[in-house]
């Protein structure tokens, strides 16, 4: 089943009109959420961002946040998902076929499925390898950069396909100024020789919910975290690197282009602490 405009519809019967504005002009927003032991981690925060994204894109989701939260819980129950992924998505319909879309209907769907590790579990131990993408995060005055909107991910797909073609797992993306931004679907952290963590300021890309959670974990362990502009030339100065994201969770990085990093105890401990938080029922 998929929750589709307040109804439970068979997975194979869900239909999207080929002239939907969201398909042609990317007037579409979504979320990515993890289910751990039958519960959606930080559901309310994700739903709040879902509504923020829609508002920034100029349309209103025709349900309340509470209704979306309840629908999300309903669909994982109906699908019997214990450890998986949830994808709420909202888009403009087919009533107007042009750039203007004021009279289009807003559709909402929520799908969920069982899903394990985003990256190969072996790579989450050894560390993944990134290339450096030729595509850059656009300037913040050119796009609604603080949204999870479909159009923003076009260059992510291009970057990840290029990385995988060349034998890498993912791609590091720079911002419009040439500073380090993030991976294609995850935020990035670096550890220096003194144990301090450095992470880019999210001023042209999403300030991830997992990113904020990991920063809180690090501070609880008295690990200093500095949010700042980071130049690619500084990669040689860091000893450790890892990604954070709903899908990626906490994933160590062993190499970026020609720069190598160690999967150190700090990264392993942050990953273990994150798992304890998301699996509260199991930990209790």
User: Tens digit of pLDDT for each residue in 240-275?
Assistant: 999 999 999 999 999 999 999 999 999 999 999 999
3-state SS, one letter per residue, for 170-207: EEEEECCCCCEEEECCCEEEEECCCCCEEEECCCCCCC
56 with 103, same domain: the answer is yes
148 in active site? yes
Active-site residue, selected from the candidate residues 129, 148, 160, 191: 148
Residues 145 and 278 in one domain: yes
- Indicate if 163 and 266 belong to the same structural domain: yes
| Number of folded domains that form the chain | 2
Instruction: State the pLDDT confidence band at 284, using cuts at 50, 70 and 90.
Output: very low
Question: Are 156 and 279 in the same domain?
Answer: yes
78 and 160 part of one domain: no
Q: Are residues 228 and 185 located together in one domain of the fold?
A: yes
Alpha-carbon span 280 to 183, nearest angstrom: 28
Give me the domain span that covers residue 108: 2-114
Reported as a single tens digit per residue, the pLDDT across 130-159 is 999 999 999 999 999 999 999 999 999 999
Query: Mind listing the pLDDT tens digit for each residue in 187-222?
Result: 999 999 999 999 999 999 999 999 999 999 999 999
pLDDT on residue 283: 41
Mark whether 57 and 93 lie in a shared domain. yes
Q: Which segments of the chain does DSSP mark as H helices, in order? A: 21-25, 43-56, 65-78, 121-126, 154-165, 209-220, 265-278, 280-283
Q: Quick one: CA dihedral 249, 252, 255, 260, positive or negative?
A: positive
Same domain, 87 and 146: no
Domain end point (choices 114, 145, 170): 114
Do residues 254 and 131 share a domain? yes
CATH code assigned at 177 = 3.20.10.10
Is residue 197 classed exposed, middle or buried when 0-12, 13-18 and 19+ CB atoms within 10 A define those classes? buried
Q: Which of 114, 132, 167 is the last residue of a domain?
A: 114
């Amino acid at each position: 089943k998929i929750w589709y405009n307040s109804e439970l519809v068979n997975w194979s019967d869900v239909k999207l009109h080929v002239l939907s504005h969201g398909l042609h002009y990317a007037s579409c927003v979504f979320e990515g959420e993890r289910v751990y032991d039958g519960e959606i981690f930080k559901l309310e925060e994700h739903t709040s961002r879902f509504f923020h994204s829609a508002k920034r894109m100029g349309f209103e989701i025709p349900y309340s946040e509470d209704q979306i939260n309840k629908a999300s819980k309903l669909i994982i129950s109906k699908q019997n998902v214990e450890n998986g992924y949830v994808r709420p998505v909202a888009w403009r319909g087919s009533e107007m076929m042009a750039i203007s879309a004021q009279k289009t209907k807003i559709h909402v769907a929520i799908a969920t499925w069982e899903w394990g590790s985003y990256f190969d579990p072996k790579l989450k131990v050894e560390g993944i390898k990134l290339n450096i993408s030729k595509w850059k995060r656009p300037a913040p005055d050119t796009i609604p950069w603080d949204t999870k909107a479909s159009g923003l991910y076009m260059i992510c797909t291009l970057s990840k396909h290029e990385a995988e073609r060349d034998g890498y797992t993912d791609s590091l993306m720079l911002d419009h100024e040439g500073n380090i931004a993030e991976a294609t679907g995850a935020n990035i952290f670096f550890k220096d020789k003194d144990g301090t963590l450095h992470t880019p300021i999210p001023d042209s890309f999403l300030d991830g919910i997992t990113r904020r959670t990991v920063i809180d974990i690090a501070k609880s362990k008295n690990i200093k975290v500095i949010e700042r502009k980071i130049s690619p030339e500084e990669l040689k100065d860091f000893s450790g690197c890892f990604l954070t994201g709903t899908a990626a969770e906490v994933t160590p990085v062993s190499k970026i282009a020609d720069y190598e990093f160690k999967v150190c105890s700090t990264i392993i401990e942050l990953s273990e602490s994150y798992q304890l938080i998301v699996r509260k029922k199991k930990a209790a």
